[in-house]
Structure 1
Amino acid sequence: MPKIELKTKIKADRKVVFDLSRSIDLHKISTKHTNEEAIAGKTSGLIGMDESVTWRAKHFGIYQELTSKITEFNRPIFFVDEMVKGAFKEFKHEHYFTQLNNGTLMTDIFEYNSPFGVLGKIADKLFLKKYMIDLLTERNRVVKEFAESKKWKEILTE
């Protein structure tokens, strides 16, 4: 099972970073290049425990749908989303938020299993793992950009 771990230092309050990371609206912004849209479940605002969202996006030239559900949640320390239905055989995405003196360390741990057995494993090595790293890195870049500026106030309403 491929495992991706990314760490992003963000000069912002942990609660802001946590909430931006679970924002459906910010996720849409970070995935503009895939035409991603939330089409079922929680389709805007902040997703929480036991809530799910179904995304429709274009990856590798094909529109796909993926449903994930929040299965663990402890604001503002961590949350976990797991695939319920979609192109992967399975995936689990853990999000951790550690308070630092000058902000937050956001850690993503993304584990997945590709479908199609041996062909899936070959795809992982050839392009899929890098593709997923790039998607997560862009998402984290957008979270950081919004958290470190006043832009977060456009997404998170008190």
Structure 2
Amino acid sequence: MKLYQLKAKQAFPISKKEAWDFLSDPKNLKVITPDHMGFNILSGADRPMFQGQIIQYIVKPFPGYSTKWVTEITHVKEGEYFVDEQRFGPYALWHHKHFIKEIQGGVEMEDVIDYKIPFGVLGQLAHPLLVKKQLNQIFQYREIKLNELFGIMENHENSLEFISI
């Protein structure tokens, strides 16, 4: 079973506290997820983020198909990073690290997601056609939405990279 990795970086002309307050609030995930994903939080987003927090969602990754997705916040370092891991959902593995660091003129947010697709060889065949394509669309939408909310950082190039490990 192949392991894939997605790395995304985006910078904003805001304070580290403002970035942390927005990005660490589970309710804001709906704000930065495309509407066509049918993303709906069922439970677990009623408190500020903490280690051990379980959040349940419904998501529609493809037309006509919805699934429950359960994640656990496994690590939190206030103002710096947090990690969410899938406990139940569409992936064989989902480990998502969110980093926030100060840079000149603002902050840089970095996402590193390690994931595996279920269904063996069929999943590997579906990766470039469905999964990678959809993750790319989600992160492009997220970049646009976050730019609308926080502004564009001058002289900083955002990046999105997929790696097969």
Calculate the aligned-residue CA RMSD, in Å. Answer: 1.8
User: Do structure 1's residue 93 and structure 2's residue 106 form an aligned pair?
Assistant: no
Aligned-pair distance for 1:145? 3.0
How far apart, in 2, do the equivalents of 1:147 and 1:15 lie?
13
TM-score normalised by length of structure 2: 0.82
User: Do structure 1's residue 58 and structure 2's residue 55 form an aligned pair?
Assistant: no
How far apart, in 1, do the equivalents of 2:140 and 2:23 lie?
13
| Of 71, 78, 83, the match for 2:81 | 78
User: Do structure 1's residue 141 and structure 2's residue 144 form an aligned pair?
Assistant: yes
How far apart, in 1, do the equivalents of 2:4 and 2:88 lie?
19
Aligned-pair distance for 1:133? 2.3
Which residue of structure 2 aligns with residue 155 of structure 1? none
Aligned-pair distance for 1:75? 1.4
The answer to whether the Cα contact below 8 Å between 2:37 and 2:62 also exists between their aligned partners in 1 is no
For the residue of structure 2 that corresponds to 1:29, the secondary structure is coil
Unaligned runs of 5+ in 1: 150-158
How far apart, in 2, do the equivalents of 1:73 and 1:79 lie?
4
| Of 29, 32, 35, the match for 1:30 | 32
For the residue of structure 2 that corresponds to 1:46, the secondary structure is coil
Q: CA 1:19/1:144 → structure 2, altered by over 3 Å: closer, same or farther?
A: farther
Aligned-pair distance for 1:67? 0.5
User: Do structure 1's residue 3 and structure 2's residue 26 form an aligned pair?
Assistant: no
Unaligned runs of 5+ in 2: 153-165
User: Which one has more relative contact order, counting CA pairs under 8 Å at least 6 apart?
Assistant: 2
How far apart, in 1, do the equivalents of 2:57 and 2:77 lie?
23
Aligned-pair distance for 1:142? 2.7
For the residue of structure 1 that corresponds to 2:109, the secondary structure is strand
TM-score normalised by length of structure 1: 0.85
Return the structure number with greater helix share: 1
Aligned-pair distance for 1:34? 1.6
Sequence identity of aligned pairs in percent? Answer: 22
The answer to whether the Cα contact below 8 Å between 1:81 and 1:92 also exists between their aligned partners in 2 is yes
Aligned-pair distance for 1:49? 1.5
Which residue of structure 1 aligns with residue 70 of structure 2? 67
Aligned-pair distance for 1:45? 5.2
How far apart, in 1, do the equivalents of 2:55 and 2:135 lie?
19
Between the two proteins, the alignment pairs up a number of residues equal to: 148
1:99-143 per-position Cα deviation (integer Å, ceiling 9, x unaligned): 012000100001110100011111112221121122133234333
Tell me the amino acid that sits aligned with residue 142 of structure 2.
R
How far apart, in 2, do the equivalents of 1:86 and 1:23 lie?
21
